[in-house]
Structure 1
């Protein structure tokens, strides 16, 4: 439309004006064509810009939608974070309370074990003092695994191959019983041990199992029947040749393995109650 208006305007001007020279006319026509080309170029650029504007508007709308979605997601995350933080705070308080209970319980257990160790050490000292006169005859007192072990070689208690306690053995057991009577909270286990030599010519005693059990039983009977130690505190077991102190086979090593071990352990009812 603009181009047509321009041509009409040019024609009217030419028709109403004085006749131009050829040179002047060509100059005007060239200017008209130049202006027309410029207008066409401008129109093309305008069209391109309008398309670019349309694309940018679409991109802007898409970005706005993404921003709205992200803001909604952020709002949800904030809500979740707040919820998690509240739950975490509650969980931390609960864990803290549980930890305090566990620490208190652990302290109770440690106190009981400390008292056990103190009582075990005191018992060992009393026994060592009471049985001092028998230590040169093969008696030892030591602590192993929180328990007191009173070990008596067979020559201190029995004649060779016998299950009858001799007088020296009775004296040692009597001194032991005096201490045990003052320690009612102590459990007593009497273990019989032999060497690895086969039993021969011992009547109804068939093997080392029999010998170890019968010797342990003889000690238990002496402690309960004669020394009046409570039956409920004491047990007898036979270990045979299977828990030796020495692994060699010399006469001295075999002598170490033939023994009675009286194992003294404190009652731990409080500890068992705690760990139920």
Structure 2
């Protein structure tokens, strides 16, 4: 560029001595026009080079994006195949669990049917007209509640003769159900009790429960099917604040239930299989 300008200057001086002022001025104007064109072309060239570099950079970025998209697409195809396999396995697992739950529901339905039949038998045998005797179902368990005054004299744990008649009917029903157990659960009020060899209400409740168990045993109920439980004063039905309420709390419940070990072993086994599945 500099060389071109110098050549132009030299040519101007040379021409100045050879041409007229008018011709010289025209040449000088032409030279300036040429320089302007050259400068403009240089600017455009630089801009084109910059645009080319930017376009090349964008092209490279697009190529990288295309490569990333292809890789992502490949990964999605792999995940889709795995996902389909996992969905199939999940559906199989759900189907298997549904079958196990159905078996559990069938077992519970069967238990409920047996419970209903048991209640019907007990109400028929024991009778439901006596206000001191109740046959009922509580939380899926059959129980016979017998008022304290029917079973024992005050402070005693000797079973009355009248109570033995009722217990004989209970024994008949229980003996007809080989897969059932019988738990005798005795309750007292909160009036302090101490009479040798017993020291408190808890002792009294346990002794009363074992007394009823022994009567049932004498009536033919297998010893292995009998359970004695003393609750003492700790599970009252009503507050022990009146004589009538205390009489309500003094009671013995005979709970007739499926053999717990067998029933819950089945439930636990099914639940274990469900959790492992």
- TM norm structure 1: 0.86
Is contact 1:158–1:165 with CA below 8 Å preserved after alignment? yes
Q: C-alpha distance in 2, partners of 1:109/1:40?
A: 100
Match of 2:37 among 24, 32, 42: 42
| 2:206 equivalent to 1:213 | yes
How far does residue 41 in structure 1 lie from its aligned partner after superposition?
1.2
Q: Which has the larger radius of gyration?
A: 1
| 2:268 equivalent to 1:272 | yes
Is contact 1:148–1:265 with CA below 8 Å preserved after alignment? yes
* 1:105-120 correspondence to structure 2 within 5 Å: 105-120=100-115
State the match for 1:192 in structure 2. Answer: 186
Please list every run of 5 or more consecutive structure 2 residues that lacks an aligned counterpart in the other structure: 273-277
Question: Any idea what the Cα deviations from partners look like across 1:99-131, whole Å, max 9, x if unmatched?
Answer: 111111111111111221222122112212211
Deviates more, 1:36-45 or 1:124-133: 124-133
Q: CA RMSD in A?
A: 2.4
* 1:128-139 correspondence to structure 2 within 5 Å: 128-132=123-127, 135-136=130-131, 138-139=132-133
Q: C-alpha distance in 1, partners of 2:190/2:129?
A: 26
| 2:115 equivalent to 1:123 | no
SS at match of 2:237: coil
State the match for 2:176 in structure 1. Answer: 182
State the match for 2:93 in structure 1. Answer: 98
State the match for 2:235 in structure 1. Answer: 243
State the match for 2:197 in structure 1. Answer: 204
State the match for 2:254 in structure 1. Answer: 262
Q: C-alpha distance in 1, partners of 2:75/2:125?
A: 73
Is contact 1:112–1:270 with CA below 8 Å preserved after alignment? no
Q: C-alpha distance in 1, partners of 2:112/2:101?
A: 16
State the match for 1:80 in structure 2. Answer: 75
Please list every run of 5 or more consecutive structure 1 residues that lacks an aligned counterpart in the other structure: none
Deviates more, 1:51-60 or 1:168-177: 51-60
Q: How many residues align?
A: 262
